[in-house]
Amino acid sequence: MTYVVNEACIGTKDLSCIDVCPVDCIYEIDEMVVIDPGECIDCSLCEPVCPVDAITPAEGVPADQRDFIAINAAWPDGREEVNRLLAEWRA
């Protein structure tokens, strides 16, 4: 399992999650933050500190936000790949 940041982060990017993550697996890109699923230890500490409820466990991602599972998971492939998937999601 992993935690996933969804669309609600865009336009807010509060960054409180980065402060509480014990393994530093939340990364800031231009519009939002993303969680590297290979590094996340599922501690859940980030979920309650998000002021816009943008973080959920992967199995709890709302149906209309499922694209964000892949958007977060693209982090190991590089920032450009995350941005590319975000642009694709918008199209």
Binding footprint of ligand SF4 on the chain (CB under 6 A): 3, 20-21, 23, 25-26, 35, 40-46
CB 83 to ligand SF4: min, Å: 20
Given a contact cutoff of 8 angstroms between Cβ atoms, the answer to whether 70 and 85 are in contact is yes
Q: Which is nearer to ligand SF4, 27 or 91 (CB)?
A: 27
Q: Which is nearer to ligand SF4, 48 or 88 (CB)?
A: 48
DSSP label at 30?
Answer: S
The pair phi, psi for residue 21, each rounded to 5°, is -70, 120
Q: Which is nearer to ligand SF4, 10 or 18 (CB)?
A: 18
65, 66, 71, 76 alpha-carbon torsion, rounded to 10°: 140
